[in-house]
């Protein structure tokens, strides 16, 4: 009876099962990295160097602030461009003077009528802006029934 042996890819941590008759794999079948020449580099750290755990540059302060805004949000959509989370920046009130509804189809009221509010989201990574109706307005604004 032939016993199968296993090894773990040091690159992707995938367990690789191989047959004793065929021998061990030379490349990982998952990530295709070489398994035989895995190298480790040891670096000695100088204890006199102090690493700042909380970077104080402006980008780090910005990302910490964005994370705090995201933590406080109930709804956290993903950016359609980069799939990072979007921050609720505010709401825009659309008045009748600034919005002209599409003509209603026969037997159906207009799809959306003014005034209404739109939630405005900004991607904290690529700064894409996205607007959508808040959840509480969907039921009352959309043409779910005939007039």
In whole angstroms, give the CA distance from residue 69 to residue 77. 13
In whole angstroms, give the CA distance from residue 146 to residue 109. 7
> pLDDT tens digits for the chain (147 residues)?
455 677 888 778 888 887 778 777 888 888 888 877 666 677 777 777 776 666 677 888 888 899 999 999 988 999 999 999 999 999 999 999 998 888 778 877 777 788 888 999 999 999 999 999 887 777 666 555 444
pTM over 0.75: no
The full set of domain ranges for the chain reads 1-39, 58-141
What number of CA atoms fall less than 13 Å from residue 28's CA on the CB side?
Answer: 17
Residue 4: what pLDDT?
Answer: 61
């Amino acid at each position: 009876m032939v016993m199968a042996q296993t090894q773990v890819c040091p690159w992707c941590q995938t367990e690789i099962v191989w047959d004793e008759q065929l021998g061990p794999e030379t490349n990982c079948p998952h990530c295709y990295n070489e398994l035989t020449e895995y190298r480790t580099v040891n670096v000695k750290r100088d204890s006199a160097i102090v690493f700042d755990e909380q970077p104080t540059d402006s980008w780090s302060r910005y990302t910490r602030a964005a994370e705090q805004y995201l933590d406080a949000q109930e709804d956290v959509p993903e950016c359609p461009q980069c799939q990072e989370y979007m921050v609720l920046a505010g709401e825009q009130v659309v008045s009748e003077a600034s919005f002209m509804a599409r003509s209603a189809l026969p037997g159906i009221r207009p799809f959306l009528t003014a005034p209404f509010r739109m939630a405005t989201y900004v991607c904290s990574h690529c700064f894409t802006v996205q607007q959508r109706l808040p959840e509480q307005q969907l039921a009352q604004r959309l043409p779910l029934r005939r007039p």
